[in-house]
Amino acid sequence: DAGVIQSPRHEVTEMGQEVTLRCKPISGHNSLFWYRQTMMRGLELLIYFNNNVPIDDSGMPEDRFSAKMPNASFSTLKIQPSEPRDSAVYFCASRGGSSYNEQFFGPGTRLTVL
Amino acid sequence: DQQVKQNSPSLSVQEGRISILNCDYTNSMFDYFLWYKKYPAEGPTFLISISSIKDKNEDGRFTVFLNKSAKHLSLHIVPSQPGDSAVYFCAASARNSGGSNYKLTFGKGTLLTVNP
């Protein structure tokens, strides 16, 4: 079982550039979550999809952030334009099957915006 | 407003002894609690959970205790091993109007170091 896959693992970009983070959830899981981790705020939920439909995007910081889930095996989180304060580790997690209350996290993408 | 608090940023324990990690919450609607462990450069991994209808759940060396009246939970690791050294996150969820517990609120974590 491959687990949740995220790419890239590290991203360094300049302010104003577009950034796209990618996630492949565990096969068979029907819920997908995007989180952001910073020193100041800890782990925060950005957006939650269920059966590929966005259910709760109240954690998305502002319009510069957008997320899509075109099918059950792929999701993207896009930041356009990026700013230095977006620097953080972004985690994708999925949930489903018999362990319905537990979320399984990917390894994260460390984003640095210069 | 932090709804889940882990007041100890770090904890150091000798191998073989007990590690006790604490977590407090303020939202009385939380009814499911989880502990996650995180190693550097990896995502959090699920460790153990407890429903609010219980006050204890045990899984091998790991036991979680829940005190609803005090809005407090703790994770006990006995005996502690060097491989347990990691950041431990407490998380909580509440059932929404649709009956789903999807949203996890995390504490900021406690770094546990187990010394050989």
Please state the φ and ψ torsions of residue B82, each to the nearest 5 degrees: -55, -35
Please tell me if residue A101 touches chain B, with a CB cutoff of 8 Å: yes
Rounded to a whole number of angstroms, the distance from the CA of B19 to the nearest CA of chain A is 23
Whether the per-residue pLDDT at B59 is higher than 70: the answer is: yes
A-contacting residues in B 54-113 (Cβ below 8 Å): 89, 93, 101-104, 106-109
What is the rounded average pLDDT of the residues B33-55?
Answer: 94
Interface test with chain A among B104, B105, B110, B111, by most A beta carbons within 10 Å: B104
Please report the pLDDT score of residue B99 as a whole number.
63
Please report the pLDDT score of residue B63 as a whole number.
98
Whose tokens are 């407490």? That residue is: B90
What is the rounded average pLDDT of the residues B2-9?
Answer: 93
DSSP three-state, residue A57: coil
Rounded CA separation B21/B32 (Å): 17
- pLDDT averaged over chain B? 93
Contact A54, A48 (CB under 8 A): yes
Whether the per-residue pLDDT at A105 is higher than 90: the answer is: yes
Please report the pLDDT score of residue B101 as a whole number.
67
Q: What is the DSSP string of B18-71?
A: -EEEEEEE--TTEEEEEEEEE-TTS--EEEEEEETT-SEEEETTEEEEEETTTT
Please tell me if residue A96 touches chain B, with a CB cutoff of 8 Å: no
Q: Higher confidence at residue A1 or residue B19?
A: B19
Rounded CA separation A5/B52 (Å): 32
Please tell me if residue B43 touches chain A, with a CB cutoff of 8 Å: yes
What is the rounded average pLDDT of the residues B67-78?
Answer: 97
Dihedral angle computed from the Cα positions of residues B34, A9, B2 and B92, in that order, rounded to the nearest 10 degrees = -20
- pLDDT averaged over chain A? 93
Please tell me if residue A56 touches chain B, with a CB cutoff of 8 Å: yes
Rounded to a whole number of angstroms, the distance from the CA of B32 to the nearest CA of chain A is 8
Residue B22 token pair? 């604490």
